[in-house]
Amino acid sequence: MVLSVSERTFTQEVLESPVPVLVNFEAPWCGLCRIIHPLLFQFQSQCGEQIKLVRVNADDNFKLSNTYRLKSLPTLLLIENGIVRHRLEGFRGRDDLRLALEEIKLSYTNRPKAYSSSKADLECQTV
């Protein structure tokens, strides 16, 4: 299950998170948003506790949509220590997203992580 985050909980759940957070900005009317859910769930299950997955309803959280200058939905942001490390937008379907998630995993697993525990040191498996 993916945690739904709002403007009220964004700082605590995302910006102050001890692990990187993949934020999925979506909307109920967005067809592509629904299509990519299975890939995001798979990504989350393969990465375990190394990367947290949350979703934000862009329509209901206008300030966040403006803050992160959303141009299209879905938009995915990998936020680590309050900083946007990766931005994924404008992908056309599952294959584009799969490649983008693979890029995130490769760059993430190749960097040292000061906050990791021995259990979380396991690398993400391939999507």
Nearest alpha-carbon partner for 71 in 52, 86, 91, 54? 91
Nearest alpha-carbon partner for 58 in 12, 24, 31? 24
Which residue, chain included where needed, has tokens 């259990």?
Answer: 119
C-alpha span between 47 and 127 (Å, rounded): 9
Catalytic residue among 33, 73, 97, 104: 33
Strand partners of residue 75: 25
Catalytic residue among 2, 27, 30, 32: 30
3-state secondary structure of 25: strand
33 noted as active-site residue: yes
30 noted as active-site residue: yes
**Contact between 110 and 123 (Cβ < 8 Å):** no
Active site residues: 30, 33
